[in-house]
Structure 1
């Protein structure tokens, strides 16, 4: 593996984390997003990660400043990818947006560039025809808070070159991840094949009036010893993502998902409750009740 320059497309919660983790491990990183306003938000997110790395990884101020210094920002896609050995796409989980992105990317990316999607629910084969390089396209999926939850799921589609697959596994290790190779396409990979049904079940309990978020989280935490319940996890993920996933299922005729999507929209997104990213979701941050020592009593 001879990757030197990595481009991360999409600078939301996870895109920013991928960019910082990659830069922290010595790579030059270009961050691409659609406009300067999005990039300004990315810079804030990246700066907010510095103290997290210092607290959780005992990184020094010099190390986190050096990591930030290896990141550059672009709203011009051609400029963002002109030196890229690997581009990691972390844009919204909406088929049309991803399709259009890959069509544009195929026109401007160098021939050497490998494309990896960080999509948590969609398969590489859904977009492979738009990439112009099926053998150099695969999925590279990270968990949120990747500096701590350092899994990288590397999933090929039937046309991915084996050498490319092996290279991306090596890259994942090089940025401090535990590489988890996935040999066949699976919606949701390993992590979300387990996590999404769990989160769906929790949301259905809430939407159907069975119990409130705190009670559901408390039940799970006490009974299993888990550090977080499903609604704390949803806040960390950001409420836009489960909303988009529920909406897609609703549009495919899933009545339960339609009810969840409507609830998330009216009770959360319309009220500006986006999750941990803006301090308001199912809980209020920085001091959510589930962190209270008495929560599990």
Structure 2
């Protein structure tokens, strides 16, 4: 495996692409248009600075070499024309992902392995649209890839065990700790723990019980955790939180409405825009 294409240059997509490039792979970053890709270039430059500051032993030369390993494309067919692996990190919308895979299956070479970074959807929800279910699985990364360095690998009943092993090996080669999941589980391991926690926080604020800052403070003081749930929401991105909550039960839908009215409609999408539940002056 040498050539990797990452579909989507949002918070996690950009981190996955940069982490892969930092470990010497040739990476194509794909997104829907050149305007979005220009923003991605700024995000990659910021990641280069973060790696030098926060990753032990990382040098400016390595960070710049990683940037040089990344190319950009708004043409899906061109972006995947020589890909050994495609990692899909587009928004958490089932129909959008299915549409992407339908096209991807038609334009990608036969050799290409497909991996979804979906945090909530099962790979079996998508495999029928890939055109190659034996070469398709989930490869899920945690935010702040360079710090919280796990990569959850989860196949379907159709995934070729050799492909599964190859992706586990790839995860190790880009500096991650592969987490092998034996069978499909909604939310994988990490989000099976995280999502109920965030849902509970969302229900509290949407129900009018307390302000986000109060809920966060309670969690930090009570548990010693470095971040409260709404600080985590800002990092994940409020658009992702909205998409997931919109597909949930009554309490989750109520929180989705709260997010849309108070934050998303006002352009407050989290750390990526400089403001969400909190303000981030340096973003």
TM-score above 0.5, yes or no = yes
Partner residue in 2 for 1:295: none
Alpha-carbon distance in structure 1 between the residues aligned to 2:222 and 2:168? 35
Paired residues, number: 282
TM-score between both structures, scaled by the size of structure 1? 0.93
Alpha-carbon distance in structure 1 between the residues aligned to 2:18 and 2:253? 36
DSSP 3-state at the match of 1:215: helix
DSSP 3-state at the match of 2:247: helix
Partner residue in 1 for 2:264: 269
CA contact (8 A) 2:274 2:282 kept: no
Deviates more, 1:212-221 or 1:110-119: 212-221
Alpha-carbon distance in structure 2 between the residues aligned to 1:68 and 1:114? 24
CA contact (8 A) 2:202 2:252 kept: no
DSSP 3-state at the match of 1:256: helix
Is 1:259 equivalent to 2:254 in the alignment?
yes
Q: Which of residues 44, 50, 53 is equivalent to 1:52? A: 50
DSSP 3-state at the match of 2:277: coil
Alignment root-mean-square deviation, CA:
1.2
Partner residue in 1 for 2:148: 149
Partner residue in 1 for 2:206: 207
Alpha-carbon distance in structure 2 between the residues aligned to 1:99 and 1:287? 36
Deviates more, 1:279-288 or 1:210-219: 279-288
Alpha-carbon distance in structure 1 between the residues aligned to 2:145 and 2:282? 22
Is 1:16 equivalent to 2:10 in the alignment?
no
Partner residue in 1 for 2:221: 222
1:60 Cα shift? Answer: 1.4
1:222 Cα shift? Answer: 1.4
Alpha-carbon distance in structure 1 between the residues aligned to 2:240 and 2:112? 28
Partner residue in 2 for 1:7: 5
Unaligned runs of 5+ in 2: none
DSSP 3-state at the match of 1:107: helix
TM-score between both structures, scaled by the size of structure 2? 0.98
Unaligned runs of 5+ in 1: 289-297
* Residue 287 to residue 87, structure 1, CA distance change in 2 (3 Å): closer
DSSP 3-state at the match of 2:180: strand
1:287 Cα shift? Answer: 8.0
Partner residue in 1 for 2:76: 77
Partner residue in 2 for 1:292: none
DSSP 3-state at the match of 1:87: strand
Is 1:137 equivalent to 2:149 in the alignment?
no
Pairing 1:231-242 to 2, within 5 Å after superposition: 231-242=230-241
User: Moved runs in structure 1, 4+ residues, more than 2 A?
Assistant: none
